[in-house]
Chains A and B, each alone.
Chain A
Amino acid sequence: MQSKSSALADNATVLRYALVAPAVFVILMIGLYPFIKLAATSVQDITMFGADRSFQGFKHYARLMEDDRLWEAIWHTTLFTVIALPIELVLGYLLALLFLHPLPFRRTLIAIILLPTVISPIVAGATWRLMLDQRFGPINQILGWIVGREVEILWTINPNFVWPAVLAAEVWQWTPFMFLILLAALSNVDSEQLEAAEIDGAGPWTVFRKIVLPAILPVVVIAVLIRGLDLVRVFDVIWTMTQGGPGTQTETISIYAYQMAFREFEISYSSAIAFFVILILTVLVIAALRRVEIAR
């Protein structure tokens, strides 16, 4: 593709930069300043009670190494991501298969399924809090009908149920996103190729591995990346459902960082956390992207 592109030489030198300039400018404006500010603040000493802007060394970074609650939050976030992501991907894929071929009311049904994705995570959290209310919510009631006796699960309080509760809300909201993207990708798979493979007697697994997967992989990678990054920074849903509780059992990085920055106003320490998190993510994502780019 590169050689072909260069064949399109026109006023390229101006345009190739002019076209990206507005986007890069906006991203830099919002992206670069905070980054520099974070780096600077994290080596000063700014709290609610005063600002010492002299260089303090890396004491806040040393502190975060020993901050168990931070590491717990990182662990929770990781766990949340690696559980939710595959569920959403698999469910999304199955749904996409279900809707791939003509179906009566297809468009209406798809529109309905898409709805959770388009509502605010705050609303989703509030909705699920209502749904899972031990007494006034329908979930325990429905479960009660199934098992034939009253169910009194304290979804957002019992440590054994709080993760399923939060995951349910998350998966409910974002599976449709995966579904939509995978449906689009699957529609693009060459049907002649599929038919040819079927005629050759290839099994479903072989067809999937040899034809479908390569065709949808680029889209899947982008979808996984986008959702993965969203999951890593999850805040709203958990905030409305549990505020990170019980204890700190559902506290994620974003919730902990929020507490530190906007409730305790430990500005320097929270900057160190933010800078540290951004650093880890940058390394991880760039490594992942490089692999993907090479794999293409």
Chain B
Amino acid sequence: MDRRRFFGLTATSALAYGVLGPSPASAQGAASQAVEAAKQYTGATLNVLYEAGLQPLDPKNFTGPMWEDLTGIKINVIESPVDQMFTKTMQAHMANSGAYDVLNVIPNQLPDLALAGALEPLDDFVDKYGYAEELDAIAPVYRDNQMKVEGTIYGLPDDGDVLIMYYRRDLFEDPENNAAFMDRHGYKLAPPTTWEQFSQIGQFFTDKYAPDIYGAGMLRAPGNAQYLFQERFRVEGGKFFDEETMRATVNSQVGLDIFNAMIAENDFMPPGVEQWGFIEAFNAFLAGDIAMTISWPPVGRWAAGYGKGTEALNWIPETTVADTIGYALPPGGRPELAVGFSLAVASGSQNKEAAYLFAQWMNSEEISLQRVQLPYALRDPFRTSHFESEEYRNRWPTAGEYLDTLKAGAETGLIDLSLIQTDRYEEGIRQALSRLWGGDDPQTILDDLAGQWDALTDRIGVEKQKRVYLDWASKPNAYPT
């Protein structure tokens, strides 16, 4: 497919927007080191696996052409829907086809892919090309949690995903609302810090404004809601497994309480919220239909109007809340660092060195700062320097608050559960949630889930899984301390 013409077009429009264009390379940065070292591979082509949609616009329109100019190495982007990426990676590995050089890996799938031998250990490369220092400057939560498997580096954390709260400042600051809320609940109307407050505030707005505005609306489709469940379960003190026996303890009282609370909350959310994913919640928030939502960082940028007029974002409805959007941590203050991406090198690559260098260059201080500011990008700030960038903080009036909230979330966030065959454990949660929305008894669902997990653990091997679980649980942001 000839997409070259398209590159030119969007690159120009993006330039006009004033975001792109390489800034002068710092003399000793990891980016320029990577470029220098990569020049010996001029003429090579790297196959890069990316999530289909907006994500690949970065390597296709921005970093890819730039890298080719600098090094003469061509970047060939291969797109895949996000739920197919693991499949494609494993398929290529099992067939030993060397189809991909650079991979995007969802961090909680790192153990599976690393244990399967699909990923190249990166420690030696990091030392050889002087990347240790800049790698260390990645926000600690991503650096410490989304990079290593049992002490070995397999991925460069490259995406600061975190589920934070967005709310309608105008509704929260309205004096009439404040007075009425104080009357009813006896405390000040403000973004909720507990789930109980969340329910009270949500109900309050729904009572007053529905059906025009509902108190909240958010990720409820099982594939997304599972992250919110994982977060709340741990915030409320739940543990996924018994550390001694590795038996699942997800069906504890905590789990039951959360299931019941989630069902109850749906009452003050818009009808049909059970099937809301990212896009539905996002649209409802843009349209001003909901007072609060919890979602991934792009919501906060796009709803504020950042990137408006960009060709790649023309599918987004007009935002009506650009001037009134507020940012906060979700109730409990420990947001889920849901999904995310790490850059990895495929063990089957014929060109590992060049692949690593491209990843290092993309991930470096200098280049990553530009990437996270691409208006259409889905890469969210993940370096301390991103949060503090003056350039970024002036992108729109509340950009500073946005970045501060993301930074706070990055400090306290909780990482996704990550085990051997993580996907099957997550599938269990997904199925449990879809049964919950379907009206099954919460305790039965949770008991079934625990049974399902135990059977899985038994088959994988209790000791084997326990080792991986304890490795995960020992990470600083696995459980709240």
Question: Are chains A and B native binding partners rather than an unrelated pairing?
Answer: yes
A135 at the interface (CB under 8 A from B): yes
Chain B 198-214 interface residues, beta-carbon cutoff 8 Å to A: none
In contact, B431 and A265 (Cβ under 8 angstroms):
no
A157 at the interface (CB under 8 A from B): yes
Other-chain residue from B271, B424, B437 in contact with A157 (beta carbon distance below 8 A): B437
In contact, B87 and A263 (Cβ under 8 angstroms):
yes
In contact, B437 and A246 (Cβ under 8 angstroms):
yes
In contact, A152 and B431 (Cβ under 8 angstroms):
no
In contact, B272 and A134 (Cβ under 8 angstroms):
yes
In contact, B116 and A263 (Cβ under 8 angstroms):
no
B438 at the interface (CB under 8 A from A): yes
Return chain A residues, CB-CB under 8 Å to B437. 154, 157, 246
In contact, A245 and B271 (Cβ under 8 angstroms):
no
B77-119 Cβ-contact flags toward A at 8 Å (1 or 0): 0000000001100110010000000000000000010011000
Other-chain residue from A135, A246, A263, A267 in contact with B272 (beta carbon distance below 8 A): A135
In contact, B275 and A154 (Cβ under 8 angstroms):
yes
CA distance A272 to B90 in the complex (A): 20
Q: Determine the residue in chain A with the shortest Cβ distance to B283.
A: A136
Given known contacts A49-B116, A135-B271, A152-B271, A159 and B438 CB-to-CB distance under 8 angstroms: yes
Return chain B residues, CB-CB under 8 Å to A49. 115-116, 420
Chain B 33-85 interface residues, beta-carbon cutoff 8 Å to A: none
Q: Determine the residue in chain A with the shortest Cβ distance to B284.
A: A135
Given known contacts A48-B116, A247-B434, A263-B87, A158 and B275 CB-to-CB distance under 8 angstroms: no
Q: Determine the residue in chain B with the shortest Cβ distance to A135.
A: B272
In contact, A157 and B438 (Cβ under 8 angstroms):
yes
In contact, A262 and B271 (Cβ under 8 angstroms):
no
Given known contacts A154-B437, A158-B439, A247-B438, A263 and B423 CB-to-CB distance under 8 angstroms: yes
Return chain A residues, CB-CB under 8 Å to B222. 245
Chain A 65-108 interface residues, beta-carbon cutoff 8 Å to B: none
Return chain A residues, CB-CB under 8 Å to B439. 158-159
Return chain B residues, CB-CB under 8 Å to A127. none
Chain B 419-456 interface residues, beta-carbon cutoff 8 Å to A: 420-421, 423-424, 427, 430-432, 434-435, 437-440
How many residues on chain B are close to A (CB under 8 Å)? 28
Return chain B residues, CB-CB under 8 Å to A156. 275
B161 at the interface (CB under 8 A from A): no
B158 at the interface (CB under 8 A from A): no
A141 at the interface (CB under 8 A from B): no
Q: Determine the residue in chain A with the shortest Cβ distance to B459.
A: A63
B274 at the interface (CB under 8 A from A): yes
In contact, A134 and B275 (Cβ under 8 angstroms):
yes
In contact, A262 and B274 (Cβ under 8 angstroms):
no
Q: Determine the residue in chain A with the shortest Cβ distance to B452.
A: A69
Q: Determine the residue in chain A with the shortest Cβ distance to B445.
A: A247
Return chain A residues, CB-CB under 8 Å to B90. 48, 265
Return chain B residues, CB-CB under 8 Å to A154. 272, 274-275, 437
Chain A 110-129 interface residues, beta-carbon cutoff 8 Å to B: none
CA distance A259 to B272 in the complex (A): 28
How far apart are A141's CB and chain B's nearest CB, in angstroms? 13
Which of B270, B274, B434: most chain A Cβ within 10 A?
Answer: B434
Q: Determine the residue in chain B with the shortest Cβ distance to A152.
A: B271
A130-149 Cβ-contact flags toward B at 8 Å (1 or 0): 00011100000000000000
How far apart are A5's CB and chain B's nearest CB, in angstroms? 47
Q: Determine the residue in chain B with the shortest Cβ distance to A63.
A: B459
Which of A48, A133, A248: most chain B Cβ within 10 A?
Answer: A48
CA distance A216 to B328 in the complex (A): 69
A198 at the interface (CB under 8 A from B): no
A52 at the interface (CB under 8 A from B): no
Return chain B residues, CB-CB under 8 Å to A190. none
A151-185 Cβ-contact flags toward B at 8 Å (1 or 0): 01010111100000000000000000000000000
In contact, B86 and A263 (Cβ under 8 angstroms):
yes
Q: Determine the residue in chain B with the shortest Cβ distance to A132.
A: B275
Return chain A residues, CB-CB under 8 Å to B427. 259
In contact, A245 and B431 (Cβ under 8 angstroms):
yes
A230 at the interface (CB under 8 A from B): no
Sorted nearest first, the 7 A-B pairs with minimum C-beta distance are A134-B272, A246-B434, A246-B438, A245-B434, A247-B435, A159-B438, A152-B271
The 23 sampled A-B contact pairs (Cβ below 8 Å) are A48-B116, A49-B116, A134-B271, A152-B272, A154-B272, A154-B274, A154-B275, A154-B437, A157-B275, A158-B439, A245-B222, A245-B430, A245-B431, A246-B431, A246-B434, A247-B431, A247-B434, A247-B435, A263-B86, A263-B87, A264-B424, A265-B94, A267-B94
B→A interface (CB under 8 Å):
86-87, 90-91, 94, 112, 115-116, 222, 270-272, 274-275, 420-421, 423-424, 427, 430-432, 434-435, 437-440
Query: Given known contacts A48-B112, A154-B274, what 9 new A-B pairs fall within 8 Å (CB)?
Result: A48-B90, A49-B116, A152-B272, A156-B275, A159-B439, A245-B431, A247-B431, A248-B431, A264-B423
A→B interface (CB under 8 Å):
48-49, 133-135, 152, 154, 156-159, 245-249, 259, 262-265, 267
